[in-house]
Each structure stands twice: as structure tokens, then as C-alpha cells.
Amino acid sequence: MNHSILAIIATAALTTFASAETSVKLSGVHLCCKSCVVGAEKAVSKAKGVTAAVDKDGGTVTLTGADKAAVQSGVDALVAAGYYGKSDSADV
């Protein structure tokens, strides 16, 4: 009985850990018009498993992915397309 309870707790903890997402917010990104917003979204869409929330008025792009490596690939795609900003993460 005790082993079953421990197994359930361990499984729940590992499932929570495995499903954790990583996000990074880039501020000061040049997003002056709809074309810039679409371009930034299109650039990030090339990174597998990464989504972007683009805030034109705030000049920010928030990238979310499964882990740091995925988010970094999204940032790299954004920079390759000519969009730059200051990251809120020292790691990405």
C-alpha cells in the first residue's frame, strides 16, 4: 500500500516537472506596424515547439517553449529575421 502511494506521488511530481514550460520576454523590439508583427510571428513559427505573443504597443515579444533550448531557437530565429530586443533572462 505504501509503495503504491509513493509511486503515485513520484509519477505526479515527474509529470509536473516534464510539462514545465520556459518563457522569455524580449523588450524594445521594433514592432512599428502590422508587417513587423507578422514578420516576428513568422520568424518564431520556424522554431519547432515555440509560440510567440507579440505586443505591438508594448514593443515586446514573449516566447514560450518546452525548455530553454526550444526558446533559444525561437530567439535565434527572431534575431536571424532582424528583430532584436533585450531579454528578461540571463540564460536566453
Q: In this predicted structure, what is the pLDDT of residue 55?
A: 97
**pTM for this predicted structure:** 0.77
23, three cell numbers: 518563457
Whole-number pLDDT of residue 20: 81
- In the predicted structure, residue 36 carries a pLDDT above the cut 50: yes
What pLDDT, on the 0 to 100 scale, is given for residue 16?
47
Could you identify the residue written with the cell 516537472? 17
Residues 6+ apart with CB under 8 A from 30: 36, 59, 83, 84
Q: Write down how long the chain is.
A: 92
